[in-house]
Structure 1
Amino acid sequence: MESLAPLLSRRSYCRKKLIHPAPDDQELQRLFELVMTTPDHGNLKPWRFLIVKGDKMQVLADATLEMYRRQLPNGELTEKARRSCQEIANTPMMIIAVTDLKPEHHVSLWDQWLCGGAAVQNIMTGLHLMGYGGFWYTFLAGDELKPVLGMQPEDQVLGAISVGTPKERFVRPVERQSPNQYCFEWQGLAEQPTPYFED
């Protein structure tokens, strides 16, 4: 059980709680080696990863701000949109996971989507084990940003992961829910499952 202890402290950190440094190239190589262990029906690797860092973070922030502007009827940006884009510019690194689905393959698109999500979770887990923090969200899924990111029209964003080192004052245990209310034992055909763990 102690082997799980490092994983039980995993948590997410919003962009404002992440500072430099981010993983270097050698650490990123190791991180994506972990991603290659993701359960993958058909061994399709239905994902691609875009790594954004350095001065490209400001470029991405500006493009996102323009996307927000185009989505508003009068083109006037809200303060929330400006703050969000400033946070992007200040983020040390982003890893943007996008789909690379094979619709003609016998493996269902549902399975391929789930595989892509599992790959993103492996990134989150790997970052934590390496001492970094991440924040997985999907606001970058707008079609307006697809050409900016070099995506095809049919591609979708699986996750835009902000990456950096958590500010020390935010590194503390998080109170978790008990898994008891989510786990049940199957009792047979047409029988009502019963709680697996006792409270």
Structure 2
Amino acid sequence: MDALEALHNRVSVGKLTDPAPSEAQRENIFRAALRAADHAALRPWRFLQVEGEARRHLGELFLRAAEAESDTPLPADKRDKTRAMPLRAPLILVAITCLKEHPKVPHHEQHLSTAGAVQAMLTAAFAEGVGAYWRTGPLAYNPVVAEGLGLAENERIDGFIYLGTPGKAPRRAPELATGDFFSHWNAP
């Protein structure tokens, strides 16, 4: 797929199934992350691959985290739903920013760089015919999840990227007018 075609037409694909991306597809998706804008070339990102039985373990970790946040016991349906979250796709990438002290690159810029890497992977996945979507939410920022995944003190989760085979054809990208979002600044 042409690069501009992928950039202009990428959409999230929420219904995912097996198989997970092949090794060749993963390599292309992962290499795309490494081209993200990155002030001072800190490469402040890393990604954990979660697949197979590890997804069930992640579901149990999500459940422990949700229960730790709740003042009352979770109802059975909420427990089941939380536990099943990682089963939505055959492969999940945990996007992690490894915060570094740097005189010219504040932490928020390092998170932006990780976000750029994630966006590049989403576009590469679309170009490869792989369905993908990015989720955040309370579990991404939960200390129980961070500890369970083995994050260091300086690391933060910036989201979970779900990848797999599209369960149905991706929806068409909405037609948006660039003029609605771009304008000229008229200096005083």
Q: Which residue of 2 aligns with 1:153?
A: 153
Distance 1:6 1:113 in 2: 24
For residues 175 and 29 of structure 1, the distance between their equivalents in structure 2, rounded to whole angstroms, comes to 29
- 1:113, CA displacement in angstroms? 1.8
Query: Which structure would you say has the larger RCO, counting Cα contacts within 8 Å and 6 or more residues apart?
Result: 2
Work out which of the residue numbers 100, 117, 126 in structure 1 matches 2:124. 126
**SS in structure 2 at match of 1:173:** coil
Measured in 2, the distance between the counterparts of 1:60 and 1:185 equals 47
Give the one of 97, 100, 108 matched to 2:98.
100
Tell me what 1:54 maps to.
Answer: 52
Cα deviation, residue 37, structure 1: 1.2
- 8 Å CA contact retained: 1:52, 1:94: yes
Return the offset for 1:166: 1.0
In 1, the alpha carbon distance for the partners of 2:82 and 2:174 equals: 27
Q: Deviations over 1:13-55 (max 9, x none)?
A: 22xx100111123322222222111111111001111010111
Q: Do 1:136 and 1:161's aligned partners in 2 also have CA atoms closer than 8 Å?
A: yes
| 2:46 alignment partner, SS class | strand
Q: Which residue of 2 aligns with 1:185?
A: 184
Identify unmatched segments of 5+ residues in structure 1.
191-199
Q: Quote the residue 2:163 is aligned against.
A: 163
Q: Is the 8 A contact 2:13 2:170 kept in 1?
A: no
Equivalent runs, 1:60-75 vs 2, <5 Å: 60-75=58-73
SS of the equivalent of 2:19 reads coil
Aligned residues: 185
RMSD (Å) for aligned C-alpha atoms: 1.9
- Residue pair 1:93, 1:162 contacting (<8 A) in 2 also: yes
Percentage of identical aligned residues: 26
Contact 1:52 1:95 in 2 (8 A): yes
Shift of 1:138: 1.2
Task: Structure 2: state its 5+ residue gaps.
Answer: none
